[in-house]
Amino acid sequence: MNTVILHKLSLLPEEPGCYLMKSREGEIIYVGKAKKLKNRVRSYFTGSHDEKTTQLVGEIFDLEWIVTATNTEALVLEMNLIKQYRPKYNIMLKDDKSYPFIKITDERHPQLILTREAGRDKGKYFGPFPNARAAAETKKVLDRLYPLRRCPESSTRPCLYYQLGLCIGTCAREVGEEEYKEQIRKIVHFFHGGYRAVLKDMKKEMLQAAKKLDFEKAEQLKEQIMQIEVTMEDQNIVLNDPVSRDIFGFAVQDGFMCVHVFYMRDGRIIEREVIFRPIGSKEPKRAFLDFLQHFYGESGNTLPKEMLIPAAVGKEAAEICVSARIVQPKRGQKKEMVQLATKNARIALEEKVSLMELETV
């Protein structure tokens, strides 16, 4: 184990995230996830391992990590990074295994389905969801609350699902366009925060069932509530739209600036970049604006449709530097993405400064 890795192991945070193992040539040879980065990454360098892991550890020359807000985020980010880099030691995930989405199809009478393929069609996708069982249970609840078509479009006889109250009934009656759109609006609202009200109602229903000694129904509702909570655990690394975004965070320490960029394409973070720059006594906001100008100008990086930057940076000044749609989110998921980029910039800069101090000893 080289001294750089040894020192980096002492800097690992006790937070969830992904770690990237690199070879001497700088190739990413393994991507993993952890509930606690410190414990998981250190475990590779202690104790005995199977042949594959021993071979992997023997090739590790450097390592990086990305902190996430939750373990669910780490799971999804791991999947995206593996698909992007195709590390040779990620054999188990090389078969294009992916997590399920819940999709509203793009049809005259859309359906609600589970799928592992997020296409570029006009359907509405929600996810991905690392817990497939929880996603399936969540869909069952949506089928019960806001039923859509469950049978072939050409059906002219009432289907079994309609008789069970799980199909809106295009097979049995004329369903108005507005009625159908309202069901879809309710499903979309569920994924955009409306699930909290649904959970509240389900908890009331569970208590009422228990009071009536209907323990089977109460237990079923309890299980569904739990699975919805698992499914809807906040994910700041996924947005359900196709907009290309670059998400920036930065930190300054001891005359150095670190900029952390998340590259989001088709609603998913596919890559990140960490850039260090000496800035001397330059004011941090000015240093960041100069960086942006260089990043998209002299460096030739492709402008995305949207850039997310910290609110502390002047939007007008940033727009002068870069001719792109600049967003400084004040709330919600986009704000949390910028905060995550900023947090990773701070962690990376602290690591860099610590390593520089080690070199001067």
Task: Spell out the residues 6+ positions from residue 310 whose beta carbon is closer than 8 angstroms to its own.
Answer: 248, 249, 250, 328, 338, 342
Asked if the model's pLDDT at residue 240 lies above 80, the reply is no
Predicted confidence (pLDDT) per residue in 144-167, tens digit: 999 999 988 888 888 998 888 899
Distances (CA, A) of 46 to 2, 28, 43, 90, 133: 14, 21, 5, 20, 34
Distance in angstroms (rounded) separating the CA atoms of residues 116 and 52: 28
Residue 114, exposed/middle/buried by CB under 10 A (0-12, 13-18, 19+)?
middle
Question: Which of residues 328 and 250 earns the better pLDDT score?
Answer: 250
Distance in angstroms (rounded) separating the CA atoms of residues 42 and 39: 5
Distances (CA, A) of 189 to 182, 197, 198: 10, 10, 11
**What pLDDT was estimated at residue 225?**
93
Question: Which of residues 233 and 23 earns the better pLDDT score?
Answer: 23
Predicted confidence (pLDDT) per residue in 300-340, tens digit: 788 888 999 998 887 776 776 677 788 888 888 889 999 99
In the block, residue with structure tokens 């008789």: 163
Residue 199, exposed/middle/buried by CB under 10 A (0-12, 13-18, 19+)?
middle
Whether residue 100 has a cis bond before it, omega within 30° of 0? no
- Please count the CA atoms within 13 angstroms of the CA of 25 that sit on its side-chain side: 3
Identify the helix (H) or strand (E) that includes residue 4. helix 3-11
- Which amino acid is it at 91? I
Paired sense of beta strands 28-34 and 17-22, if any: antiparallel
The tokens for 155 are 């059906």
In the block, residue with structure tokens 């002299």: 298
User: Which backbone phi and psi does 317 adopt, to 5 degrees?
Assistant: -65, -40
Ramachandran bin of 26, using left for φ above 0, alpha for ψ from -120 to 50, beta for the remaining angles? left
Residue 228, SS3 per DSSP: helix
Domains of the chain: 3-93 (3.40.1440.10), 101-231 (no CATH), 245-360 (3.30.420)
Distance in angstroms (rounded) separating the CA atoms of residues 354 and 42: 18
Q: Contact 244/261 with Cβ under 8 angstroms?
A: no
Predicted confidence (pLDDT) per residue in 74-95, tens digit: 988 998 888 888 898 886 444 4
The tokens for 267 are 């609603």
Asked if the model's pLDDT at residue 234 lies above 70, the reply is no
Contacts 24+ apart (CB under 8 A), 297-304: 304/243, 304/244, 304/245, 304/246, 304/263, 304/264
Residue 6, exposed/middle/buried by CB under 10 A (0-12, 13-18, 19+)?
exposed
Lowest mean pLDDT, pick from 62-76, 217-231, 300-314: 300-314
